[in-house]
Amino acid sequence: MIKAVTGTKDILPSDVFKWHHLEGLVRKVFNNYNYLEIRTPIFEQTSLFARGIGEETDIVSKEMYTMIDRGGTSITLKPEMTAGVVRAFIEHSLGEKSSLNKLYYISPMFRQERPQAGRLRQFHQFGAEALGSSSPFLDAEMIEMAYSIFTNLGLKDLVVKINSLGTPESREIYKNELRKFLSDKKDKLTNESKTRLEKNVLRILDSKAEQDQELLLNAPSLLDYLDESSLNDFKSVKSYLSSLNIPYEVEPKLVRGLDYYTKTTFEIISNKVGAQSSLCGGGRYDLLVQELGGKPTPGVGFAAGMERILLACENENALNLPQRQIDIFIVRLEKDLIYKVAELASYLRKNDLVIEYDYLDRSVKAQMREANRLNSKFVLFAGGEEFSRGEIVLKNLSDGTQVNFKLNNLNEIISRVK
Ligand code: HAM
């Protein structure tokens, strides 16, 4: 039997309504903040991600689904959206049409990671990117939007972590200090961190290994090396979050796994999803547009993992969604009434009612069972004496009451059911 590829998941009809709910909420919140949707292709030229995300990152060096197409071009399934959104922003000169572009997306992403709970190879993100302003209020707005989506879903056990990575110049000074600090402890670092010492020393900070974290206890803090403008912006982000009553923790080791960040970075963590606890992550990337060939344009954004969010909802017993119901199940009392029933169903469906009837020639008892299984609000009985008199019986399944309606006045049924 052919099965789904490791790390991919089917979303079955019994679950899809949770996704609809989440997607609906995401669209509503982004709309309230005046973000407009952007859709970019599932695959891009590989060089976009290599340049945008950074050659040394885990995503680019180990996790991308890359292939050579029949024309000999190296293409990659998108592992994240920011690079693609920035590419589209430059390609379509969006910056010339509007000085601030507030964009959002909902899309599948692909990373060849080791699958586990909350970590897939095809997963889904929603996210936002604001291009054209360096205001720290936009940084806080990103956190506010993500936080309000999560709390609206009923999630409670959340921690907002924020940090500032400063400018490349201030960061370079810090990186040298960190390297100096770790150089005489090199032998005690894990092998992975040893290799990062030269090429990507900042990433040692978010190593999960205790051995590394112990060595880092007295390491210099990135926040002590921030330049004045980064420091001021960080202060503004913090005070705006406080004024919005969003609790946060400053985490000077939050460096994130993508190379494009400058100044603010943040993550929102749920304590209810196990090891893969980061529900969303983001930050400012003031140099990315330039690096990808556009005019200097500051940017900030975030993305959230939808599988993780739904997992957190499940584990917190949040997301109390109403059960799916249909409006009417039409029970056919006589087999040869199929044309009549189909006609009736068609009329009612055109009037925005959710209608089901029997296509399997089941007995009346089995049709009633099906109506209950489908959680139908009403049944209509097609057939019998009433039917031959030009009437039809509508039964309310929640209280058992029955009312007769004239078949030539179906609008009365529609207003009763709606
Ligand atoms: P990221 O931290 O790589 O950031 O991913 C954001 C979120 O996507 C994570 O917090 C997590 O919830 C989810 N996620 C990542 N990998 C997986 C996976 N393998 N399985 C399930 N969920 C996953 C970015 O992608 C940046 N583009 C965010 C950003 C936007 N920064 C600025 N703008």
Query: What is the CA(2)–ligand 1 centre distance, in A?
Result: 29
Classify each residue of 221-258 as buried b or exposed e, where b means 16 or more C-beta atoms within 10 Å of its C-beta: ebbebbeeebeebbeebbebbeeeebebeebebbbbbb
Task: Give the model confidence (pLDDT) of 85-105 as tens digits.
Answer: 999 999 999 999 999 999 999
Given this model, what pLDDT does residue 124 score? 98
Given this model, what pLDDT does residue 274 score? 81
Given this model, what pLDDT does residue 200 score? 87
Task: Give the model confidence (pLDDT) of 312-324 as tens digits.
Answer: 999 998 887 878 8
Asked if residue 372 and residue 230 are part of one domain, the reply reads no
Q: Is the pLDDT of residue 288 over 80?
A: yes
CB-CB neighbours of 203 under 10 Å: 19
Asked if residue 391 and residue 243 are part of one domain, the reply reads no
Query: What is the CA(306)–ligand 1 centre distance, in A?
Result: 10
Query: What is the CA(100)–ligand 1 centre distance, in A?
Result: 24
Asked if residue 253 and residue 122 are part of one domain, the reply reads yes
The last residue of a domain, from among 316, 349, 376: 316
Q: Measuring from atom 11 of ligand 1, which residue has the nearest CA?
A: 305
Asked if residue 162 and residue 102 are part of one domain, the reply reads yes
Q: Measuring from atom 4 of ligand 1, which residue has the nearest CA?
A: 281
- The average pLDDT across 286-291 equals 98
Given this model, what pLDDT does residue 111 score? 98
Least confident of 175-184, 316-325, 391-400: 316-325
Asked if residue 249 and residue 162 are part of one domain, the reply reads yes
Task: Give the model confidence (pLDDT) of 1-27 as tens digits.
Answer: 999 999 999 999 989 999 999 999 999
Asked if residue 212 is part of any domain, the answer here is no
User: What is the reported pTM?
Assistant: 0.93
Asked if residue 211 is part of any domain, the answer here is no
Q: Measuring from atom 1 of ligand 1, which residue has the nearest CA?
A: 281
- The average pLDDT across 234-263 equals 96
Q: Is the pLDDT of residue 279 over 90?
A: yes
User: What sign results for the dihedral spanned by CA atoms 87, 92, 123, 256?
Assistant: positive
Number of domains in the chain: 2
What is the amino acid identity at position 209?
A
Q: Measuring from atom 20 of ligand 1, which residue has the nearest CA?
A: 119
Asked if residue 231 and residue 125 are part of one domain, the reply reads yes
Q: Measuring from atom 25 of ligand 1, which residue has the nearest CA?
A: 80
Asked if residue 140 is part of any domain, the answer here is yes
Query: What is the CA(376)–ligand 1 centre distance, in A?
Result: 40
Asked if residue 372 and residue 260 are part of one domain, the reply reads no
Yes or no: say if 226 and 126 are a contact pair by the CB < 8 Å rule.
no
The last residue of a domain, from among 316, 344, 375: 316
- The average pLDDT across 191-208 equals 89
Asked if residue 354 and residue 238 are part of one domain, the reply reads no
Q: Which atom of ligand 1 is nearest to the CA of 267?
A: 10
Task: For ligand 1, pick from 85, 102, 125, 285 the residue to mutate: most ligand atoms within 8 Å of CB.
Answer: 125
CATH of the domain at 399: 3.40.50.800
Asked if residue 35 and residue 132 are part of one domain, the reply reads yes
Q: Which residues surround ligand 1 with Cβ inside 6 Å?
A: 80-82, 111, 113, 118-120, 123, 125, 127, 129, 257-258, 278-283, 301-305, 307-308
Asked if residue 178 is part of any domain, the answer here is no
Yes or no: say if 166 and 230 are a contact pair by the CB < 8 Å rule.
yes
Provide, rounded to the nearest whole percent, the portion of the chain with pLDDT above 70: 100
Query: What is the CA(367)–ligand 1 centre distance, in A?
Result: 47
User: What sign results for the dihedral spanned by CA atoms 100, 102, 108, 110?
Assistant: positive
Asked if residue 338 and residue 293 are part of one domain, the reply reads no
Least confident of 109-118, 231-240, 245-254, 272-281: 272-281
Asked if residue 395 is part of any domain, the answer here is yes
Asked if residue 172 is part of any domain, the answer here is no
Asked if residue 388 and residue 239 are part of one domain, the reply reads no
Given this model, what pLDDT does residue 322 score? 78
What is the span of the domain harbouring residue 361? 328-417
Query: What is the CA(296)–ligand 1 centre distance, in A?
Result: 25
Q: Which atom of ligand 1 is nearest to the CA of 120?
A: 20
Asked if residue 252 is part of any domain, the answer here is yes
Given this model, what pLDDT does residue 346 score? 98
Asked if residue 78 is part of any domain, the answer here is yes
Which pair of tokens denotes residue 129?
A: 């990117």
Given this model, what pLDDT does residue 364 score? 97
Q: Is the pLDDT of residue 365 over 90?
A: yes
The last residue of a domain, from among 260, 284, 316: 316
Asked if residue 388 and residue 336 are part of one domain, the reply reads yes
Yes or no: say if 379 and 331 are a contact pair by the CB < 8 Å rule.
yes
CATH of the domain at 76: 3.30.930.10
